[in-house]
Structure formats: C-alpha cells, structure tokens
Amino acid sequence: MSALRGVLLALLLLLLPAAPAAAQEPSAPDVVYQVRKGDSLYSLAERHFRRPGDWRIAQRLNRVRDPYRMPVGRTLRIPRSLLKSEPVAARIISFRGDARLRRRGQDEAIAPGAAVLQGDEIVTGANSFVSVGMPDDSAVALPSQSHVTVRRLRRITLTGAVERWFAVESGRARAVVSPLGKEDAFHVSTPIAVSAVRGTEFRVKYDAAAGRASTETLAGEVVMTRGDETARLEAGFGATASGAELTDPVALLPAPRLADPGQVQDESDLVFVIEPLAGAAEYRAQVAQDAGFLDVAAEAIAQEPGVRLVAVPDGTWFVRISAIDENGLEGRYETYSFQRRLNRIEATVDATQAGRYRQYLFRWEVQGEGERQYRFQLARDDAFEDLLVDEPGLSAKRFILTDLPVGTFYWRVETLQFVDGQVHGKWSPAERLTISSAE
C-alpha cells in the first residue's frame, strides 16, 4: 500500500503546474575604485562597507600589503556585496486607468510625483498605463496588463553609482535610458532572460503562458542573456528566449505608415488606417498626449491594417504606429501628431400633417465641443449636384420643408465647429428620402 501511495504522490506532483521561475540575478561585476588622498582600507571600510571587518577581504583580493597606506590613483576592485548602498526614489510621471502601486503587499496612493522605491510593484489593468521617471531622466513605461517589480533602486555610497533593476513579471515595458556612468547599471529582466544597457531605448515583453521573453532594441545597444547564452542586440534588432533557447538577433520590421496622417479624428472612436507592410502579422497603435509617449491614453492591436481605439478628449494628440512580425517581435515605430475634434452628426427626418400641407422636419444631433453653425442641403442625386435646397448659416439643429413633390431625394448637413480660432467642417452621410403619391 505504501508503494502505491508513493506512485500516486509522484503522479500528482507531475500534474501540478510548475511554479514560475524567479527573475534571474543580473551579473554584478566588482566595483572599481581609485584610491584618493587620505584613503586607507580601514577608513573606506568604516564609511562604505556593510561590515567594517570586511576590509580583510578587499586586502586579499587586491593584494594590498599595508592597509594603512595605499598609493593615490591605485585601482581597487571590491565586490558589490561588501558595499553599503542607499535608496534612490523614482517618481510616477503619469498614469491612467486601473494602475496600482504596491508596497510590502499594500496598495499605495498613486499620483503624478508619487515616489517609487526598491521593492515596489507596479500593476496595470486593461487600457491602463503608467510611466516612471528616474533622477537622470531615464524612464520606464508600462502599457496595459503589465506587472513590474522594482528589484533594485539604490546608490552605492563608495562611488555614487546607481543600480536599477526592473523585473517584468508579465506583460511589457519600454525603457528610455539616459547614458549611464561607468559604474551605473540598468537591467530589465523577465523570469527567463535579462537585458542590460548603457543608454538606449528598448522594449521587453514576457508572455507567461507561452514561457517566452523578447527584447527589441530601438536605439543604442542591449545585451540579452539567457543562462550562459548572450545576444548582443544593436539598434533595429530583437531576439526571443523560450525554454533553454535564445535566438540569434532578428532584424525588426520597419515602421509602417498611416494612409491619411492629416485626417482629423472626429468620430466617436479613433480610427487609423495603416498602409499594409510586408511581413507584418499585427499592427499596434498607441495614442499619447506627449511625443515621448510617457503619458499614453489608449492602445490597440489589430491583424488588419486598420486600428480602432477608444475616444480621447478634443485637442492635439500623438499616435505611434508599429508592426509585429510572426515571431512576436515589435518593429520600429513612426509617430504622427493629429487633431482630435469630436464632430459626430446623427440625422433623422419626420413627416407631419399641418392642415392640408405635409411638413418634413429634418433634425440632427451633434457630439463635440465648440460653437457651431450648420448648412442644410437637399438634392435629387447623391452627388449633390442637382441641388433643390442649400441653406447655410443655420444655428438651430433642424430645418422644415413643406409639400415636397413625389420622388427620391438626398439630404445632408454640414456642421462647422469653431475651436481655438479654427474652423472644422464635416458633412453628415447622405440620407435618402423617398416620397410616394400615397403621402
């Protein structure tokens, strides 16, 4: 019976889902320090070592004969694990939607300027976005459905070097990294790979269900590591890691282009038509208030070269378009500015009897802001070349005609929207009206 229990227990363990792998520890080379006037191993250890007695370890590693005297300019190599560090705070640049900042398992109030510390977690829900800025103007942007843990955010007191390590537990992150000092470190990891940079722009994605991580370099150079394998990704290249395999660098797709970049977005939703790009399996569009895309408001992916996004308020916005290849690598992007001016028209017509006359009440409702004027047209053709009525300068959202003859007519309304000294005009779709003798 005990043997049978053992077999059943083994089968049960095989059926249980595997625990997610922990994020890999980024490589931590020794800190390099040049001896200054008045330095001794004792004084350095007293001020900058976690345990002052560890000066002996530094003495052995560097073969220092006299710990009281060292020549000025001599180079010391000291393991980072021996050195003191102090916390460095990042700050929330912007956030939208269901974004949360967790500290020691508790949700903290999130607002622009709120501190982000080592050990914090940042989680975004559907159609939610967060951007985090560092004191050196580096930034990490999280799109929707992402979870990032700040593993390290600290300064080594001996040299002033800053270590930053963001672990992508799920979803995606985009990092824009300012040029780093010689001893500074910036890592973005997933449970199966680590990407390290000196100063660049890159993206990291981790798909937990597929067990696959990817890195895409947009500027500068990124070193992606999976176990003992390393891929050096120059600008315009990406790689994926899954299982024990790290792919060779793959050229990213070029940036796609919008079919009509100057189009005013005046419908309820935002719609961007993209020129088809060879090799693209999907297209991604992001909308932000800033050209750096640290304040993202909406995002969507489509398999066809036309992307629909949720509405945003009127104003000047930016849209960023990119293509995703069959490997799941997202390519380079193109950024366009566009005007958002909600100006949607919905039109109806009602017929009523007024004595022996029949009246036709043409009505319309308009969505959007700003002062408006309207122009009503009625024609015998849908090209509006054979006009019967052309009435501009209307202020009311209605127009009445009496005793129209038998036949088929077409009508439409133009709305002129006056905002910030500019005029935005838009015609409603042509509506068809057929009057029979029975009326």
Regarding whether 236 and 144 lie in a shared domain, the answer is yes
Candidates 217, 210, 280; CA nearest to 245 is 210
Regarding whether 94 and 143 lie in a shared domain, the answer is yes
E strands present in 265-397: 270-273, 282-288, 296-302, 306-309, 315-324, 330-340, 344-354, 357-367, 371-379, 387-394
pLDDT at residue number 394:
94
The CATH number of the domain holding residue 293 is: 2.60.40
Candidates 219, 218, 223, 220; CA nearest to 241 is 223
The whole-angstrom separation of Cα 301 and Cα 303 is 7
Q: Determine the structural domain holding residue 407 and report its residue range.
A: 344-435
Element (H, E) at 226: strand 221-226
pLDDT at residue number 8:
31
Regarding whether 302 and 190 lie in a shared domain, the answer is no
Does 265 reside within a domain? no
End residue of a domain, out of 325, 340, 355: 340
pLDDT at residue number 2:
42
Does 12 reside within a domain? no
E strands present in 138-219: 139-142, 146-156, 162-176, 185-190, 193-197, 201-207, 212-219
The CATH number of the domain holding residue 127 is: 2.60.120.1440
* Torsion 106-110-113-116 (CA) sign: positive
Does 303 reside within a domain? yes
pLDDT at residue number 354:
66
Regarding whether 359 and 295 lie in a shared domain, the answer is no
Regarding whether 89 and 78 lie in a shared domain, the answer is no
The whole-angstrom separation of Cα 437 and Cα 439 is 5
pLDDT at residue number 95:
95
Does 319 reside within a domain? yes
Coil, helix or strand at residue 260: coil
Regarding whether 39 and 150 lie in a shared domain, the answer is no
Does 239 reside within a domain? yes
pLDDT at residue number 403:
83
Regarding whether 209 and 323 lie in a shared domain, the answer is no
The CATH number of the domain holding residue 394 is: 2.60.40.10
Q: Number of C-alpha atoms within 13 angstroms, CB side, residue 243? A: 2
Does 203 reside within a domain? yes
pTM of the predicted model as reported, rounded to 2 decimal places: 0.78
Regarding whether 303 and 388 lie in a shared domain, the answer is no
The whole-angstrom separation of Cα 129 and Cα 110 is 12
The CATH number of the domain holding residue 71 is: 3.10.350.10
Regarding whether 77 and 93 lie in a shared domain, the answer is no
End residue of a domain, out of 340, 367, 383: 340
Regarding whether 158 and 202 lie in a shared domain, the answer is yes
CA Rg value for the chain: 32
Edge to edge, what strands does the sheet with 357-367 contain? 344-354, 357-367, 398-402
Regarding whether 131 and 108 lie in a shared domain, the answer is yes
Query: Where do we find the tokens 């052309």?
Result: 390
Complete DSSP assignment for 66-117 = -TT---TT-EEEE-GGGB-EEE--EEEEEEESSEEEEETTEEEP--TT-EE-
The whole-angstrom separation of Cα 325 and Cα 356 is 68
Stretches in the chain below the pLDDT threshold 50: 1-23, 439
Does 401 reside within a domain? yes
pLDDT at residue number 122:
97
Regarding whether 152 and 100 lie in a shared domain, the answer is yes
Does 228 reside within a domain? yes
Q: How many domains does the chain have?
A: 4
End residue of a domain, out of 309, 340, 371: 340
